[in-house]
């Protein structure tokens, strides 16, 4: 599908539906209540998610301890992608889905994107389309199936089931859905704020998306990389304690929002939503609204004729197992004016000819309001050292894609960026 055709289709879907999102005070959220003792925010059903406080201490971040609001969403949702071959070419069934946190509201989501509360219809709304393909008994071939983490900065131990199912039979094509060839999807991943985060994380498990030609040996074997990963988990500590939201240090609360006293990081805000294309037509909810745009970037280097990326063992407050494999850089630069994360300057100061990927994508629009990251891949020259700090390791694109198949290995930012690397250009001239 040409981008002009896609734009026309998305415009048609916008015109066919009605959307309205308003930022409101936390005390105006219908169906949500503040616990009088703890100050925690929760839904009246006890389902969906809650906003609580967390105290964190670790020896593996820029500061040793802090407290903050965090989202608790223990339910495991489904992010499901149907794949079917037309004339031998694999296609993905994507949905034009409205989410209240998206800057442009409508983005391309996977075939199914639903929390357990949604697909069990706690809201008494309409059923989730195509859900029957992803619950047992299933028909079709399972291409990818893993429990994957989400943003550890804002979620505590959050996981979703990422599943790709290849089918052969015809399925009814609903109005908000469309088949896209894998090559089309690869191109669309370089369009700002178009392919949503949930699509990107599922697509990271699709083998057809990657065309990495490893023309030589990797710097490290899979066994060596797993040992590096295990060593990082054993070396560092991460202690978390869920506390009352009213007790988090350095955060202020009004009737409208919760904010950090320095005006950094993020706010907790309320939104009121109307959407004719969703399971329910109107609802309210709290959302996390970051103050600034983040940067998620890989440094890439050729070694032995093979493209490698520099992977970081990163700790976040919501990480379930101390560290996950992350991009070289994963931060919001405005939050670190006094202490720059390692390799951030190399990413931001890279000359244009060495920037292989440069695209802005939205984060989870169901929980985060206008959250964006600049996704980048920067190719460094042969003079950049192969010997890197112990928290970092070089691995090939294929090796990193292989680790995606296992839950709690590769974090959501690295998975999202990995999908954008499916059609990298040849080596940059020295």
Do 197 and 227 reside in the same domain of the chain? no
Position 214 scores a pLDDT of: 64
CATH code of residue 102: 3.90.79.40
Position 138 scores a pLDDT of: 85
Position 127 scores a pLDDT of: 87
For 63-79, how does the pLDDT look when each residue is reduced to its tens digit (9 = 90+)?
999 999 999 999 999 99
Residue in the block written with tokens 């493209």: 307
Asked if 376 contacts 295 with a C-beta cutoff of 8 angstroms, the reply is: yes
Query: Is 51 among the domain residues?
Result: no
Give just the sign of the alpha carbon dihedral 158, 99, 95, 122.
positive
Do 231 and 376 reside in the same domain of the chain? yes
User: Partners of 62 in the beta sheet?
Assistant: none
Query: Is 427 among the domain residues?
Result: no
The C-alpha atoms of residue 311 and residue 218 are separated, in whole angstroms, by 14
Query: Is 265 among the domain residues?
Result: no
Q: Is pTM beyond 0.85 here? A: yes
Position 426 scores a pLDDT of: 78
Do 230 and 199 reside in the same domain of the chain? no
Count of structural domains, the chain: 2
Do 187 and 306 reside in the same domain of the chain? no
Do 10 and 115 reside in the same domain of the chain? yes
Do 189 and 234 reside in the same domain of the chain? no
Query: What are the start-end ranges of the H helices in 301-396?
Result: 344-348
Position 215 scores a pLDDT of: 66
**Regions of the chain short of the pLDDT cut 50:** none
Do 306 and 371 reside in the same domain of the chain? yes
User: Partners of 314 in the beta sheet?
Assistant: 324
Do 204 and 100 reside in the same domain of the chain? yes
Query: Is 232 among the domain residues?
Result: yes
Cα 282 to Cα 31, 47, 176, 266: the distances in Å are 11, 17, 19, 25
Query: Is 58 among the domain residues?
Result: no
Query: Is 23 among the domain residues?
Result: no
End of a domain among 209, 230, 264?
209
Do 133 and 199 reside in the same domain of the chain? yes
Do 226 and 186 reside in the same domain of the chain? no
Give just the sign of the alpha carbon dihedral 211, 194, 266, 243.
negative
- Chain-centroid distance of CA 352 in Å reads 26
Return the SS3 of 152. Answer: coil
Do 147 and 230 reside in the same domain of the chain? no
Q: Which domain holds residue 198?
A: 3-17+75-209
Query: Is 334 among the domain residues?
Result: yes
Do 154 and 100 reside in the same domain of the chain? yes
Query: Is 359 among the domain residues?
Result: yes
């Amino acid at each position: 599908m040409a981008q002009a055709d896609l734009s026309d289709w998305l415009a048609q879907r916008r015109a066919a539906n009605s959307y309205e999102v308003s930022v409101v005070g936390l005390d105006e959220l219908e169906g949500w209540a503040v616990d009088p003792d703890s100050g925690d925010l929760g839904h009246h059903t006890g389902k969906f998610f809650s906003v609580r406080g967390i105290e964190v201490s670790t020896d593996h971040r820029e500061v040793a301890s802090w407290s903050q609001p965090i989202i608790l969403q223990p339910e495991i949702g489904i992010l499901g992608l149907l794949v079917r071959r037309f004339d031998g070419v694999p296609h993905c069934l994507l949905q034009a889905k409205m989410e209240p946190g998206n800057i442009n509201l409508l983005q391309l989501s996977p075939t199914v994107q639903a929390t357990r509360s949604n697909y069990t219809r706690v809201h008494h709304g309409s059923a989730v389309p195509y859900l029957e393909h992803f619950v047992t008994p299933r028909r079709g071939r399972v291409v990818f199936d893993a429990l994957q983490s989400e943003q550890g900065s804002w979620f505590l131990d959050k996981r979703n089931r990422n599943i790709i199912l290849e089918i052969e039979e015809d399925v009814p094509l609903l109005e908000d859905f469309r088949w896209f060839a894998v090559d089309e999807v690869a191109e669309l991943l370089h369009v700002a704020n178009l392919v949503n985060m949930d699509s990107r994380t599922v697509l990271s498990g699709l083998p057809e998306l990657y065309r990495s030609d490893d023309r030589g040996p990797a710097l490290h074997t899979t066994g060596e990389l797993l040992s590096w990963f295990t060593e990082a988990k054993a070396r560092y500590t991460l202690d978390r304690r869920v506390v009352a939201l009213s007790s988090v240090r350095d955060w202020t609360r009004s009737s409208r929002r919760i904010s950090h006293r320095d005006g950094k990081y993020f706010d907790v805000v309320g939104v009121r939503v109307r959407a004719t294309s969703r399971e329910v037509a109107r609802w309210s909810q709290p959302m996390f609204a970051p103050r600034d745009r983040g940067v998620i970037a890989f440094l890439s280097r050729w070694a032995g004729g093979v493209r490698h990326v520099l992977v970081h063992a990163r700790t976040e407050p919501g990480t379930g197992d101390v560290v996950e494999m992350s991009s070289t850089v994963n931060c919001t630069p405005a939050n670190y004016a006094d202490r720059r994360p390692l390799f951030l300057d190399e990413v931001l100061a890279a000359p244009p000819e060495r920037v292989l990927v440069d695209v802005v994508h939205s984060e989870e629009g169901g929980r985060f309001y206008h959250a964006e990251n600049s996704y980048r891949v920067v190719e460094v020259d042969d003079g950049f050292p192969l010997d890197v700090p112990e928290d970092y390791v070089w691995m090939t694109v294929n090796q990193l894609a292989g680790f995606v198949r296992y839950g709690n290995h590769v974090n959501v930012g690295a998975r999202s960026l990995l999908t954008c690397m499916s059609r990298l250009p040849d080596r940059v001239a020295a």
